[in-house]
């Protein structure tokens, strides 16, 4: 049975009574994954109307995990753990027996497996929290955005710089010696395109943490994040950059605090 109220509507009035339709271009998953490099504005316009994040998140998490596994295989898991213990702030207070006991502890199969797959967990946690912070930031600017939209901004703004960083790190992984790799922190990018290369992170961890935040790949991600928030949440350029820069500054403070407390750059 037809609705008499709807029958009395003119075509124009009927169209006006319908819920608003998404107003962004519809792109496939492959198109968004490639478009974020070449057409980031159009890609975020599409994500506003059709939020998606699973593919970008999974690719980032899997590639990070694969790199971590390759790093341990190339450097030697025991060598990495031994170097980490020897370079820890408590190393001078440990006896040789205690150091060997710590190395044996890290050789536990369960703990070893956790170290191998930890990037999968880390990416999921960081993305979930980051999306919530973006959504809160948009709300503080007087706008509204869904959690899935903010998650899509975080996932795709991170995807491009992360993919480039991982690819460069894979190349450097096979150019550096095993001894050099063993002294590096597992899971960290080998592509150091930042001012942190100017200082010794062991001698000045706080300064290294500060300078390491001024990174080309990080700035690329900040640009994409600001563009994404402007497009998806319809923020002004100033408001979008305010959220992104504010979060970046908070991250710097946290890095510096951790470096001061642990004596190492996280």
Per-residue pLDDT of 63-114, as tens digits, reads 999 998 888 888 888 887 877 777 776 767 777 777 778 778 878 888 888 8
Q: Which residue(s) pair with 215 in the sheet? A: 194
- Identify the H or E element spanning 52: none
Mean pLDDT of the chain: 83
Q: Does residue 204 form part of some domain?
A: yes
Q: Is residue 9 part of a domain?
A: no
Query: Which residue range(s) make up the domain with 70?
Result: 26-262
Q: pLDDT tens-digit profile of 157-216?
A: 999 999 999 999 888 888 887 777 766 666 566 777 788 778 877 778 888 888 888 999
Confirm whether 4 is domain-assigned.
no
Residue 53: its H or E element = none
Angle at 9 between CA 7 and CA 12, to 5 degrees: 135
The residues pairing with 194 across neighbouring beta strands, listed in sequence order, are: 215
Rg of the chain taking only CA atoms, in angstroms: 23
165 class by beta-carbon count within 10 Å (0-12 exposed, 13-18 middle, 19+ buried): buried
Query: What sections of the chain are H helices per DSSP?
Result: 4-7, 11-17, 29-38, 40-49, 54-75, 77-86, 96-106, 109-140, 147-173, 178-182, 205-212, 216-232, 237-262
Residue 13 inside a domain? The answer is no
Task: Classify residue 20: in a domain, yes or no.
Answer: no
Q: How confident is the model at residue 6 (pLDDT cuts 50, 70, 90)?
A: very low
Q: Are 15 and 117 in contact (CB under 8 A)?
A: no
Domain presence at residue 17: no
State the total domains in the chain. 1
Neighbours of 191 (CB within 10 A): 19
- Within a domain: residue 164? yes
Q: 14 lies in a domain?
A: no
Q: What is the 3-state secondary structure (H, E, C) of 92-130?
A: HHCCHHHHHHHHHHHCCHHHHHHHHHHHHHHHHHHHHHH
């Amino acid at each position: 049975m037809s609705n008499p109220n709807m029958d009395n509507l003119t075509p124009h009035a009927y169209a006006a009574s319908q819920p608003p339709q998404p107003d962004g271009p519809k792109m496939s998953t492959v198109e968004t994954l490639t478009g974020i490099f070449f057409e980031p504005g159009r890609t975020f316009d599409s994500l506003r109307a059709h939020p998606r994040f699973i593919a970008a998140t999974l690719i980032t998490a899997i590639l990070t995990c694969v790199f971590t596994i390759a790093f341990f295989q190339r450097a030697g898991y025991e060598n990495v753990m031994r170097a980490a213990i020897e370079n820890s702030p408590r190393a001078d207070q440990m006896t040789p027996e205690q150091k060997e006991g710590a190395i044996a502890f890290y050789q536990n199969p369960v703990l070893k497996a956790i170290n191998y797959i930890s990037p999968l967990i880390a990416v999921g946690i960081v993305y979930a929290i980051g999306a919530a912070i973006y959504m809160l930031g948009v709300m503080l600017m007087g706008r509204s955005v869904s959690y899935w939209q903010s998650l899509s901004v975080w996932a795709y703004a991170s995807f491009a710089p992360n993919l480039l960083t991982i690819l460069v790190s894979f190349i450097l992984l096979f150019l550096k010696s095993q001894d050099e790799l063993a002294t590096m922190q597992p899971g960290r990018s080998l592509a150091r395109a930042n001012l942190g290369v100017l200082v010794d992170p062991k001698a000045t961890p706080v300064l290294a943490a500060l300078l390491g935040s001024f990174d080309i790949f990080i700035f690329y991600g900040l640009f994409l994040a600001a563009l994404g928030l402007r497009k998806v949440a319809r923020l002004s350029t100033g408001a979008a950059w305010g959220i992104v820069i504010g979060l970046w500054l908070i991250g710097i403070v946290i890095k510096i605090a951790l470096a001061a407390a642990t004596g190492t750059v996280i």
